[in-house]
Amino acid sequence: MRHVVVISTGGTIASRWQGDGYAAEAAGREVLEAGAVPEGVEVRVVDLFTVNSSRLTTGHQLRLLHAVHDVLADPEVDGVVVTHGTDTLEESAFFVDLFHGDRRPVVFTGAQQPLDAADGDAAGNLYDALLTAASGRDIGAVIVFAGQVFAARGTVKRHTLDARAFGDPDGLPLGRVEFGRVSWGRRQPRREPLPLPERDVASPRVDIVMHHSDADAVLFDAAVAAGARGIVLVGTGAGNANPEIAEAVHRAVAAGVQVAVSTRVAAGAVAPLYTGGGAVDLAAAGALLTGTLKPGQARIAVLAALLAGRDAPAGEDREAGARLRRILDTTPKAASASELYLVDGVGH
């Protein structure tokens, strides 16, 4: 018998019609009972919280992180499944992955259709997630959805409504789940986990500011003024902005804010190619380029680097930049053409 713990957090997989829209309301046991449990797998349910995932806070994600570690403190447990809303699933999964040093898998899943949909995807996704969690494979945190297994890192929600909601625009799935078994493709090298933050650590503010034509530095400066300890600048193209924003980045970095540059483009890495406010100048101003991490996960990278500093006051955590650099280091994976480009490309 394999022992899997399901941690239930809400999302569409736990949602029902409320008269004017859907909202998460079902407990984990009800979600489980809507489908079947694979033979040879025994399940225990932990009801952590029940929210639509667009309402999640860092506080929720810290509770989830500690719940996973508490569950894995039991050597009898073979794996963990987290049921989660799809809106921010890629954020929580990457967050858990960055602190995960255990060999047992943590499998995130959800659904695009609510629990009470007769032709929904909740039961199948949960079944596949249970099979993956029971596999005993050393894969870190992964996302199982529509018959595919993706590493948490790099995976994004890529369709608002389609059942094949997730994918890695710069990589391949780790495996597939079909006909009641998991088959594996490439292996993902594991990384050193970050030190676990305290349960009651204060959540640092980390904002996302998107660049666009006609943008000025007002919103970026406003994030600094609001007390942001980290900012993800979502650049155009390969991570570009303009000279005014490059100056704002310089001021923010000088004030101790961690600035990371991602892109609003759906696939590919950011790269230091252009000056005149481009990624060359943003990097020279002290921003770190986030490789192929898209904005939501780039923000989680910054957040995790700050949280791993165990509550050091703003500007006094001298190691935060070094931790963020380690998180962003692409060399352990480098599985796709665009990442190889990043590793071998201009300025690297």
Does residue 28 belong to the site contacting ligand ASP (CB under 6 A)? Answer: no
Amino acid in the structure at residue 168: D
- Greatest Cα-to-Cα distance within the chain, rounded to the nearest angstrom: 61
- Whole-angstrom Cα distance, residue 63 to residue 60? 5
Q: Which is nearer to ligand ASP, 127 or 145 (CB)?
A: 145
Answer yes or no: are the C-beta atoms of 14 and 8 closer than 8 Å. Answer: yes
Does residue 8 belong to the site contacting ligand ASP (CB under 6 A)? Answer: no
Q: Which is nearer to ligand ASP, 129 or 305 (CB)?
A: 129
Token reading at 323: 């931790």
- Whole-angstrom Cα distance, residue 271 to residue 334? 15
Does residue 87 belong to the site contacting ligand ASP (CB under 6 A)? Answer: yes
Termini Cα distance of the chain:
49
Q: Which of 50, 112, 125, 135 binds ligand ASP (CB under 6 A)?
A: 112
For ligand ASP, the nearest residue by Cβ is 85
Q: Which is nearer to ligand ASP, 59 or 189 (CB)?
A: 59
Q: Mask 287-326, x = binds ligand ASP (CB under 6 A)?
A: ----------------------------------------
Does residue 85 belong to the site contacting ligand ASP (CB under 6 A)? Answer: yes
Q: Which of 28, 110, 147, 291 binds ligand ASP (CB under 6 A)?
A: 110
Answer yes or no: are the C-beta atoms of 157 and 295 closer than 8 Å. Answer: no
Radius of gyration of the chain, Cα coordinates, nearest whole angstrom: 20
Does residue 53 belong to the site contacting ligand ASP (CB under 6 A)? Answer: yes
Count of residues that bind ligand ASP according to CB under 6 A:
10
Answer yes or no: are the C-beta atoms of 81 and 97 closer than 8 Å. Answer: no
Residues 6+ apart with CB under 8 A from 312: 320
- Whole-angstrom Cα distance, residue 251 to residue 313? 19
In whole angstroms, how close is the CB of 7 to ligand ASP at the nearest point? 15
Among 9, 12, 155, 330, which one carries the catalytic annotation? 12
Respond yes or no: is residue 12 known to be catalytic: yes
Binding site residues, ligand ASP, CB under 6 A: 11-12, 52-54, 85-87, 110, 112
Catalytic residues: 12
